């Protein structure tokens, strides 16, 4: 018996120390739970929510992506605005060209009407001699060359004059030759006016498309910048990212017939 006690008694202090240590750990854990019950509480919804929320690195990367996108769209909008202003200037130039062609056509029409009335009257008699025919031919050639240098006749029409084809007869009276010449000038100016109208219409359509594209890009740039401002208060102001376009340097002084004006930025 003494032998058993002598074998057990030396281990009692050690066991007591172990039990006291375990009891201390339990007391500390219970104290923590009582003082801060939410510290060790299991909350699956909170953990799922924390896992779903982006990290700071992801937020910084997303902010950089949004900033780069807003800047790219702003640059594209600025370029589109410049293109729209250039298209509008081209349309204005084509509009002025069409207006000038129309005025020249109207003047040619008036000249044809005036000479038609004069040609209906009896023509003065001239001797039909080789010299008279030579004078008439020289007159026709000089008048056609003068009209060609004024760009009232095309090179094809001038070739027809010197080849005496397509109704060009050097033997006609000078009044009749003048009427034929004015009709040819009118036809050429009518064709020029039609071509100028087609160019003006094409320029108008191009300007309308450019204006629509620029407006769409500016709206997208504005929306992208507003999203950046709403999500990050440290970004630049809207006025620094999207600068307003420069005022147009040319005004629409001529209004095309039947054409809506392209708005200026």
pLDDT tens readout for residues 203-217: 999 999 999 998 988
In this prediction, residue 196 carries a pLDDT of 94
Is the residue at 145 inside a domain? yes
pLDDT for residue 244 is more than 50: no
In this prediction, residue 173 carries a pLDDT of 83
Q: How far is CA 98 from the centre of its chain?
A: 24
In this prediction, residue 223 carries a pLDDT of 84
> Which of 249, 86, 247, 214 is CA-nearest to residue 94?
86
Is the residue at 135 inside a domain? yes
Mean pLDDT computed over 233-244: 44
Is the residue at 49 inside a domain? no
Distances (CA, A) of 228 to 76, 81, 197: 18, 22, 46
Per residue in 172-197, pLDDT tens? 888 888 889 999 999 999 999 999 99
Distances (CA, A) of 9 to 17, 20, 132: 14, 17, 160
Is the residue at 150 inside a domain? yes
In this prediction, residue 237 carries a pLDDT of 46
pLDDT for residue 10 is more than 70: no
Is the residue at 96 inside a domain? yes
pLDDT for residue 199 is more than 60: yes
Is the residue at 190 inside a domain? yes
Lowest-confidence range among 27-31, 97-101, 161-165, 193-197?
Answer: 27-31
Q: How far is CA 216 from the centre of its chain?
A: 9
Is the residue at 139 inside a domain? yes
> Which of 206, 214, 231 is CA-nearest to residue 73?
214
Distances (CA, A) of 157 to 65, 113, 134, 177, 189: 64, 21, 21, 14, 12
Residue spans of alpha helices (H) in the chain: 2-8, 12-35, 44-52, 56-119, 130-149, 155-163, 174-231, 238-241
Lowest-confidence range among 85-99, 181-195, 248-262?
Answer: 248-262
Report yes or no: 211 and 90 within 8 Å, Cβ to Cβ: no
Range of the domain at 115: 58-120+128-241
Count up the domains in the chain and report the number: 1
Mean pLDDT computed over 69-80: 86
Average pLDDT, the chain: 76
Mean pLDDT computed over 198-207: 94
The HSE-up count of residue 130 (CA atoms within 13 Å, CB side) is 0
Which long-range contacts (C-beta less than 8 Å, at least 24 apart) are formed by 231-237?
Answer: 231/63, 231/66, 232/63, 235/67
Tell me the whole-structure pTM to 2 decimals: 0.58
pLDDT band at 64 (very low <50, low <70, confident <90, very high): confident
Could you tell me the two tokens for 233? 């208060």
Mean pLDDT computed over 103-112: 91
Mean pLDDT computed over 55-60: 70
pLDDT for residue 98 is more than 90: yes
In this prediction, residue 100 carries a pLDDT of 93
One DSSP character per residue, 57-112 reads HHHHHHHHHHHHHHHHHHHHHHHHHHHHHHHHHHHHHHHHHHHHHHHHHHHHHHHH
């Amino acid at each position: 018996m003494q032998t058993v006690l002598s074998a057990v008694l030396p281990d009692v202090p050690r066991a007591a120390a172990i039990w006291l240590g375990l009891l201390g750990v339990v007391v500390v854990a219970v104290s923590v739970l009582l003082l801060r019950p939410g510290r060790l509480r299991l909350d699956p919804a909170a953990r799922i929510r924390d896992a779903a929320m982006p990290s700071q690195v992801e937020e910084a990367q997303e902010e950089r992506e949004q900033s780069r996108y807003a800047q790219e769209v702003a640059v594209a909008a600025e370029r589109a605005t410049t293109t729209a202003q250039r298209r509008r200037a081209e349309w204005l130039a084509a509009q002025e060209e069409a207006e000038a062609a129309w005025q020249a056509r109207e003047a040619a029409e008036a000249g044809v009407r005036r000479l038609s009335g004069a040609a209906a009257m009896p023509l003065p008699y001239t001797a039909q001699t080789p010299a008279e025919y030579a004078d008439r031919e020289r007159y026709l050639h000089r008048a056609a060359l003068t009209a060609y240098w004024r760009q009232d006749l095309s090179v094809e029409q001038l070739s027809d004059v010197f080849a005496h084809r397509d109704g060009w007869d050097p033997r006609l009276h000078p009044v009749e030759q003048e009427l034929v010449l004015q009709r040819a000038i009118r036809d050429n100016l009518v064709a020029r006016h039609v071509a100028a109208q087609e160019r003006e219409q094409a320029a108008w359509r191009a300007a309308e498309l450019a204006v629509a594209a620029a407006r769409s890009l500016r709206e997208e740039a504005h929306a992208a910048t507003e999203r950046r401002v709403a999500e990050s208060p440290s970004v630049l102001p809207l006025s620094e990212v999207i600068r307003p376009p420069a005022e147009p340097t040319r005004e629409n002084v001529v209004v095309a017939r039947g054409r809506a004006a392209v708005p200026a930025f």
